[in-house]
């Protein structure tokens, strides 16, 4: 990484840490930032000698048991969706591709929902089962969407999005139907189709972390390949890139981290679209920088979006996907307009 | 730029032709596009492939660059079947420059030139050539791209982008360069510049060149040897003097030619009569 790249990365890491502390503090019980930092430090090894606990046990419990896992989960889900979006855009060379518009999120949610409503969520591989099954159904959906959109070996931007939308509404209907069949409430349906992070504790973080971490690192190693693909598939092949193998691998891994995110949070729309494009506007399209910044930016974005979701109408929660759609859908419209203009110019 | 190969190297490479086609054929949906091509290209030669539209010129380049497989016969790269090479291995040997140049992307010129180094980079992006940065500097100096180094491609003209594409190919340090009508969208001044840069690079590095050219006069001026294709078959190979005969051109392109001699460099040049 060049020196030019270090500054934005450091800036985003700083923003991420600040957001983590601030959003942990915000809620029905306000916890000041200074106190959060001291509680955190207190729980590091050997720090007990230096810090005198002057806070109430209740706020420590609220912070560590309720707020923190949720904020960290928002960060991981955001990072996963942000990077998956950038990767889908990179290998499909389609600016409007993201886990949601491609129907991959909905596909993954079908797998997860079937398992949960039939009570098999801990079969086979214990707590790892859910993300893996969500991955399989997400992969099948992606394959279906790509096949549906293909016209003579090419995949036009618009028909890809259309296929995604068709798949999405069909799969969304399946999930809603399953939720209605179980004794679950309307809330459960909303959870799956609009996304939510309520009542998610540390175990979910543990399940998600390895998938997301390894997935993002892998996609980062493919960033130079995605830069080459921007030149065109033929050009990339002439420069020594095994194009088909690279595309397949990236699609698989992007689907895997999407599935990991969806199996804890349901379908959260547009994160993979808004975040990478914001980053593109800031630093350009170099994937070596775009991938890590989409991870950090996605984390920051979703931590704040979830804070809005849980506090704005407190004690009622707004589904997280509603918040992201309020930002994401107009942004999608803007992108559509911009690329239309670019094509006619 | 690339160091001159030593005599010994030359000798070793002469052992096997750079490219050899043996009874090579290719068909698309049962329609033959190329049939029974037997052809050898030796190190350092500069070949032009000529022929009318649809005669199989571009398909021929695709076989040589390993992008397409033959249906019959084989393509040998330095004596070995080309299908046994990885894409990366081919890219370290063969570079391809097409007619469209580069898409107007938002990547700075210097970054695009560095992409030419991809086949030499480890998965962490480290170049196996320690002086890769200097190589890129030299290329920019030479192609007058220095002042554009940080400008993104989408702010450049078509001619400038084609120059960047050429620079990227140079950064790839190939032993074999394939050109697919590289001067199509260039004005005549750029065409000549381009062909002269190419000639200079060739003299320094001893690179082998195979070019598909529509412009027969450019082909006659710069190539050592020409190969004429018609309806997927090899009609004739030889020097420009041998091929640029009125009879050959007439039967190949169905036009009425008049061959004249270039006043300075004594190569045949083609004029067309009205029909």
Of B95, B105, B124, the CB nearest to A238: B95
Instruction: Give the count of beta carbons closer than 10 Å to the beta carbon of residue A54.
Output: 7
Predicted confidence (pLDDT) at residue B11 exceeds the cutoff of 70: no
Residue B218 at interface with chain A, using a CB cutoff of 8 Å? no
pLDDT at residue A24, rounded to an integer: 93
Residue B88 at interface with chain A, using a CB cutoff of 8 Å? yes
User: Tens of pLDDT along A124-145?
Assistant: 777 778 888 899 999 999 999 9
Is residue B139 helix, strand or coil?
helix
pLDDT at residue B1, rounded to an integer: 43
- Helix residue ranges, H only, B7-144: 7-14, 57-64, 87-91, 109-115, 132-142
Q: A275 — phi, psi (to 5°)?
A: -65, -55
- Ordered domains of chain B (ranges, CATH): 7-238 (3.40.50.300)
Q: B94 to chain A: which residues are within 8 Å by CB?
A: 238
Contact call for A240 and B119, based on CB within 8 A: yes
Distance CA A8, CA A280 (A): 12
Instruction: Give the count of beta carbons closer than 10 Å to the beta carbon of residue B220.
Output: 24
> What radius of gyration, in Å, describes the C-alpha atoms of chain A?
20
Q: Which residue of A has its CA nearest to B85?
A: A240
Instruction: Give the count of beta carbons closer than 10 Å to the beta carbon of residue A45.
Output: 5
pLDDT at residue A136, rounded to an integer: 93
CB of B53 closer than 8 Å to CB of B39? no
Q: B107 to chain A: which residues are within 8 Å by CB?
A: 227, 230, 284-286
Q: A241 to chain B: which residues are within 8 Å by CB?
A: 87-88, 118
CB of A260 closer than 8 Å to CB of A128? no
pLDDT at residue A321, rounded to an integer: 92
Shortest distance between the Cα of B241 and any Cα of chain A, in A, equals 33
Give the whole-number percent of chain A exceeding pLDDT 70: 94
| Residues 15-54 in A contacting B (C-alpha not used; CB under 8 Å) | none
Contact call for A221 and B123, based on CB within 8 A: yes
Of A224, A227, A238, the CB nearest to B91: A238
User: Tens of pLDDT along A260-272?
Assistant: 999 889 899 999 9
Max avg pLDDT among A91-105, A292-306, B1-15, B237-251: A292-306
pLDDT at residue B187, rounded to an integer: 82
Cα within 13 Å of Cα(B33), Cβ side: 18
Mutate which of A240, A282, A290 to test chain B, going by most B C-beta atoms within 10 A?
Answer: A240
ipTM for the complex?
Answer: 0.88
Question: Strand B19-28 vs strand B176-180: parallel, antiparallel, or unpaired?
Answer: unpaired
Predicted confidence (pLDDT) at residue B13 exceeds the cutoff of 80: no
Task: Give the pLDDT band (50/70/90) at residue A186.
Answer: low
User: Tens of pLDDT along A225-272?
Assistant: 999 999 999 999 999 999 999 999 999 999 999 999 998 898 999 999
Task: Give the pLDDT band (50/70/90) at residue A1.
Answer: very low
Contact call for B67 and A288, based on CB within 8 A: no
pLDDT at residue B240, rounded to an integer: 92
Residue B107 at interface with chain A, using a CB cutoff of 8 Å? yes
Q: What Cα–Cα distance (Å) separates residue A124 from each residue in A120, A121, A205, A228, A251?
A: 9, 9, 20, 40, 25
pLDDT at residue A344, rounded to an integer: 63
Q: B77 — phi, psi (to 5°)?
A: -110, 115
DSSP letters for B169-228: HHHT--SEEEEESTTTTS-HHHHHHHHHHHHHHHHHH--EEEEE-S-HHHHHHH-SEEEE
Task: Give the pLDDT band (50/70/90) at residue B3.
Answer: very low
DSSP letters for A30-71: ---HHHHHHHHHHTSTT-TTT----S-HHHHHIIIIIIHHHH
Residue B174 at interface with chain A, using a CB cutoff of 8 Å? no
User: Tens of pLDDT along B195-221?
Assistant: 889 999 999 999 999 999 888 998 999
pLDDT at residue B8, rounded to an integer: 46
Contact call for B105 and A231, based on CB within 8 A: yes
Task: Give the pLDDT band (50/70/90) at residue A188.
Answer: low
Contact call for A241 and B118, based on CB within 8 A: yes
pLDDT at residue A190, rounded to an integer: 72
Residue A156 at interface with chain B, using a CB cutoff of 8 Å? no
Q: Which residue of A has its CA nearest to B170?
A: A239
Task: Give the pLDDT band (50/70/90) at residue A155.
Answer: confident
Distance CA A35, CA A55 (A): 7
Q: Residues for chain B: how many in total?
A: 275
pLDDT at residue A80, rounded to an integer: 97
Of A224, A243, A285, the CB nearest to B118: A224
Instruction: Give the count of beta carbons closer than 10 Å to the beta carbon of residue B61.
Output: 21
pLDDT at residue B194, rounded to an integer: 87
Contact call for B118 and A240, based on CB within 8 A: yes
* Helix A68-92 / helix A202-221 crossing angle, nearest 10 deg: 30
Predicted confidence (pLDDT) at residue A105 exceeds the cutoff of 90: yes
pLDDT at residue A315, rounded to an integer: 83
CB of B76 closer than 8 Å to CB of B82? yes
Kindly state the average pLDDT of the residues B101-126: 90
The answer, as to whether pTM is greater than 0.90, is no
Kindly state the average pLDDT of the residues A162-173: 91
Task: Give the pLDDT band (50/70/90) at residue B4.
Answer: very low
Task: Characterize B4-37 residue by residue with b for buried, 16 or more Cβ atoms within 10 angstroms of its Cβ, and e for exposed.
Answer: ebeeeeeeebeebbbbbbeebbbeeeeebbbbeb
pLDDT at residue A3, rounded to an integer: 61
Is residue A199 left, alpha or beta, with left meaning phi > 0 and alpha meaning psi from -120 to 50?
A: left
Kindly state the average pLDDT of the residues B150-162: 89
CB of A249 closer than 8 Å to CB of A77? no
Mutate which of A217, A239, A276 to test chain B, going by most B C-beta atoms within 10 A?
Answer: A239
Question: CB within 8 A of B76, min separation 6: which ones?
Answer: B16, B17, B19, B20, B21, B22, B82
* Helix A243-265 / helix A223-230 crossing angle, nearest 10 deg: 120
CB of A141 closer than 8 Å to CB of A262? no
Distance CA B115, CA B118 (A): 5
Q: Which residue of B has its CA nearest to A225?
A: B118
Q: B96 to chain A: which residues are within 8 Å by CB?
A: 238
Q: B127 to chain A: which residues are within 8 Å by CB?
A: none
């Amino acid at each position: 990484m060049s020196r030019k790249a270090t500054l934005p990365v450091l800036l985003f890491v700083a923003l991420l840490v600040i957001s983590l502390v601030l959003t942990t503090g915000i809620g029905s019980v306000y916890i000041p930032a200074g106190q959060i930092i001291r509680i955190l430090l207190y729980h590091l090894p050997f720090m007990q000698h230096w810090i005198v606990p002057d806070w109430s046990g209740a706020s420590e419990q609220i912070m560590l048991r309720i707020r923190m896992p949720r904020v960290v989960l928002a960060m991981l889900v955001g990072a996963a969706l942000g990077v998956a979006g950038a990767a889908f855009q990179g290998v499909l060379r389609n600016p409007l591709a993201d886990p949601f518009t491609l129907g991959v999120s909905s596909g993954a949610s079908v797998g997860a929902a079937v398992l949960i409503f039939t009570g098999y969520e801990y079969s086979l591989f214990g707590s790892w089962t859910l993300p893996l099954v969500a991955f399989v159904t997400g992969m099948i959906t992606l394959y279906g969407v790509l096949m549906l959109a293909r016209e003579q070996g090419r995949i036009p931007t618009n028909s890809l999005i259309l296929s995604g939308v068709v798949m999405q509404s069909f799969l969304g209907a399946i999930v809603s139907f399953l939720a209605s069949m179980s004794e679950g409430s309307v809330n459960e349906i909303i959870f799956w189709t609009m996304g939510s992070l309520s009542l998610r504790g540390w175990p979910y973080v543990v399940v998600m972390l390895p998938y997301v971490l390894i997935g993002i690192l892998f996609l980062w190693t493919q960033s130079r390949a995605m830069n080459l693909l921007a030149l065109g598939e033929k050009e990339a092949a002439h420069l020594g890139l095994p194009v088909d193998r690279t595309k397949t691998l990236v699609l698989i891994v992007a689907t895997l981290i999407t599935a990991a995110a969806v199996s804890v949070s349901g379908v959260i729309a547009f994160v993979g679209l808004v975040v990478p494009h914001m980053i593109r506007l800031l630093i350009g399209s170099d994937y070596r920088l775009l991938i890590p910044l989409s991870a950090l930016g996605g984390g920051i974005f979703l931590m704040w979006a979830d804070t809005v979701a849980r506090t704005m109408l407190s004690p009622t929660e707004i589904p997280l996907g509603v918040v992201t759609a309020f930002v994401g859908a107009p942004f999608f419209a803007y992108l559509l307009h911009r690329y239309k203009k670019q094509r006619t110019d | 730029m690339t160091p001159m190969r030593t005599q010994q190297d030359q000798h070793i490479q002469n052992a096997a032709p750079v490219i050899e086609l043996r009874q090579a054929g290719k068909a698309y949906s049962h329609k033959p596009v190329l049939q029974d091509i037997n052809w050898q290209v030796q190190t350092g030669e500069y070949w032009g492939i000529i022929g009318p539209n649809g005669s199989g010129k571009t398909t021929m380049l695709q076989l040589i660059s390993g992008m397409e497989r033959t249906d019959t016969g084989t393509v040998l790269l330095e004596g070995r079947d080309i299908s046994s090479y990885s894409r990366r291995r081919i890219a370290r040997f063969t570079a391809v420059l097409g007619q469209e140049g580069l898409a107007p992307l938002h990547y700075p010129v210097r970054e695009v030139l560095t992409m030419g180094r991809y086949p030499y980079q480890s998965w962490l992006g480290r170049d196996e050539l320690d002086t890769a940065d200097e190589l890129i500097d030299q290329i920019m100096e030479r192609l007058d791209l220095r002042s554009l180094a940080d400008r993104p491609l989408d702010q450049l003209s078509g001619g400038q982008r084609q120059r960047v594409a050429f620079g990227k190919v140079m950064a790839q340090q190939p032993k074999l360069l394939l050109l697919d009508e590289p001067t199509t969208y260039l004005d005549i001044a750029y065409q000549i510049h381009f062909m002269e840069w190419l000639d200079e690079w060739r003299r320094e590095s001893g690179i082998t060149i195979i070019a598909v050219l529509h412009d027969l006069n450019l082909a006659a001026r710069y190539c050592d040897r020409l190969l004429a294709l018609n309806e997927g078959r090899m009609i004739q190979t030889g020097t420009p003097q041998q091929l640029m005969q009125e009879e050959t051109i007439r039967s190949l392109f169905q036009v009425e030619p008049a061959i004249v001699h270039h006043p300075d460099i004594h190569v045949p040049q083609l004029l067309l009569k009205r029909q």
